[in-house]
Amino acid sequence: MATINTEYANTDFDLKSSSSFDTLHKELSSRCFVLHYMQGGDGHYHASFESDDDDETAESGVERDILLIVNAINMLSDAAKAELDACYLREFNIGFHCGDSWAFGYSIPHKAVEAAANVGCSLAVTLYPMRHPDGTPR
């Protein structure tokens, strides 16, 4: 059986608000990849974005992804920034594919942590367990 290493997958920028944020969605959509924007069953609005990084020569990673999204946030209009401020969840969710690693350390550079904090966002981590294509555990 081949060893599967634990590795960084991606960083999602997740937002939740009790009111719609159409201007924010529109402006972030022009600089980020939209995973979804919808009103959930709870009546609140949910959105997830990823960096729109199409530079295949660049090394991917949490720092690059967070800094690209923060750059998009810093370019928002005042109206979009007001909608962002109204979101009760503003979170960079860092995902990892979990492999056979006994322990796995991943350093988040202070520049990325500081940039996220400076735009009023928190950090979260999601672990994706190893699965066969049919979804059963390995």
The domain of 62 spans 7-128
Closest CA to 94 of 23, 3, 4, 6: 6
| One-letter amino acid of 107 | S
If one counts every other C-beta atom within 10 angstroms of the C-beta of residue 63, the result is 18
Residue 53 CB coordination number (10 Å): 15
Q: How far apart are CA 84 and CA 119, in angstroms?
A: 10
- Looking at mean pLDDT, say which of 7-11, 27-31, 104-108 comes out highest: 27-31
For residue 135, being part of any structural domain is answered with no
Whether 137 is covered by a domain: the verdict is: no
Q: Is residue 78 part of a domain?
A: yes
Give the H/E segment covering residue 32: strand 32-39
Average pLDDT of the chain is 91
In a domain, 124, yes or no: yes
| Eight-class DSSP state of 102 | S
Q: Which of 84, 78, 51 is nearest to 67 (CA)?
A: 51
Task: Report the pLDDT averaged over residues 5-26.
Answer: 95
pLDDT score, position 1: 53
The whole-number pLDDT of residue 4 equals 77
Structural domains in the chain (count): 1
Q: What is the pLDDT of residues 31-90, one digit of tens each?
A: 999 999 999 999 999 999 999 876 555 566 899 999 999 999 999 999 999 999 999 999
Domain assignment present for 75 = yes
- Express each pLDDT in 89-116 by its tens digit: 999 999 998 887 778 888 999 999 999 9
Select from 137, 128, 136 the least CA-distant residue to 98: 128
In a domain, 28, yes or no: yes
- Angle between helix 22-29 and helix 62-74 axes, rounded to 10 deg: 120
Residue 112 placed within a domain: yes
The answer to whether 84 and 121 are in contact (CB under 8 A) is no
Instruction: Give domain status of residue 48, yes or no.
Output: yes
